[in-house]
Amino acid sequence: MAAGRGGRQGRMLVVPLLLVGLQMAGGASAGALPVVINTWAFRKAAETAWRVLQLGGSELDAVERGCGQCEIDQCDGSVGYGGNPDESGETTLDAMIMDGNTMEVGAVADLRRVKNAIGVARKVIEYTKHTLLVGESASLFAVKMGFPYEDLTTQESLSVYSKWLNQHCQPNYWKNVVPDSSKSCGPYKRPEKVASKQEQTISERSVHNHDTIGMVVIGRSGTVASGTSTNGAVHKIPGRVGDSPIAGAGSYADSTAGGAAATGDGDVMMRFLPSYLAVEYMRMGVDPAIACQKVISRIQKYAPNFFGAVICANTTGSYGAACNKIPGFTEFHFMVSSPLLSQPTEQVVDCI
């Protein structure tokens, strides 16, 4: 298990299989509504979303407030301000939110100097006819919507950046460039003649350097909403956008079937639209736990060593999760809130 994600935010409870349906071999999982499920052991996010529902808020409200709590808490340094600087030392944010009734999506990517990325994403739904706004223009939109400009840099993010520079900018995300990206900070350029075989450098993503909060909320009536928030891969090339703000990749919601969200190596996972695929499996009647496993298995065929996990829930309140087993990551912790549980509860599934 990646260090720090399993127990830093609260007590873990592995609930009996008959209650929660975290089957390793599939089968029907028990369900009740409403349900809130989110990636990783981000307890305060789960508690916040559940409280919003209990106080009469909408599913979209719960997703926005739950993911927003992680932005405030800087969950694992991978969500919100002050975490995961890019290779120029700046922290930028990606987020999305989806309404499973209307299929509307609001998303922002490469958001600069605005802390509440999921809040800005919600405003994209409410005040525009667009789906995704990016970069400096997304920040200008946020200001028009009343969000303040704020510095996303902290002493912690500066320290991470300084340490990386002192390690000759290792690891990084460049390949097939000169000077050698495994030994130098660049600046890089395309070589005169590209090698026929791609370089294999230490720039492979570590299981410790990137998470996302992904959340699915299903209300008492079966209405589904989902969302994500992240500051992306640490030391990413400026302008990089991963899976988190992409509908069908980072998360997906459809009130006729269910919802799903993904976390991990977004550069790989977004190529397979894992959240969309999981929801389509559930539409066909596949149990959520098995739907998640099928998605992971599909990605494994092309990228057996990818770091990632998926959470799934259907409109009856059944849910599940799955992850890809690699060294250092053998189980996945996630949060569930349900009438069947006395409180938001951390659960765990073994990777496949």
Q: For residue 112, tell me if it sits in a domain.
A: no
243 annotated ligand-binding residue: yes
Q: For residue 95, tell me if it sits in a domain.
A: no
Q: For residue 326, tell me if it sits in a domain.
A: yes
Mean pLDDT rounded to a whole number for the chain: 89
CB 280 within 8 A of CB 260: no
| Exposure on the CB side of residue 308, measured as CA atoms within 13 A | 34
pLDDT, tens digit, for every residue of 300-321?
Answer: 999 999 999 999 999 999 999 9
Q: For residue 27, tell me if it sits in a domain.
A: no
Choose, from 92, 212, 316, 345, the residue flagged as catalytic: 212
14 annotated ligand-binding residue: no
Q: C-alpha angle 73/332/288, rounded to 5°?
A: 105
Q: For residue 66, tell me if it sits in a domain.
A: yes
**pLDDT above 60 (res 58):** yes
Q: For residue 295, tell me if it sits in a domain.
A: yes
pLDDT, tens digit, for every residue of 231-242?
Answer: 989 999 999 999
242 annotated ligand-binding residue: yes
d(CA 219, CA 105): 18
**pLDDT above 80 (res 17):** no
**pLDDT above 60 (res 118):** yes
Q: For residue 177, tell me if it sits in a domain.
A: no
287 annotated ligand-binding residue: no
Q: Which domain holds residue 321?
A: 35-77+209-350
**Residue of 306, 246, 287 lying closest to 21 (CA atoms):** 287
Amino acid at 22: L
- Is residue 128 annotated as part of the catalytic site, yes or no? no
What CATH number should be reported for the domain holding residue 324? 3.60.20.30
Domain count across the chain: 1
Quick one: DSSP state of residue 25? S
Q: Which two tokens stand for residue 234?
A: 């640490």
pTM, entire model: 0.89
Q: What pLDDT is recorded for position 208?
A: 52
Residues above pLDDT 90, as percent of the chain: 81
Q: For residue 171, tell me if it sits in a domain.
A: no
**pLDDT above 50 (res 26):** no
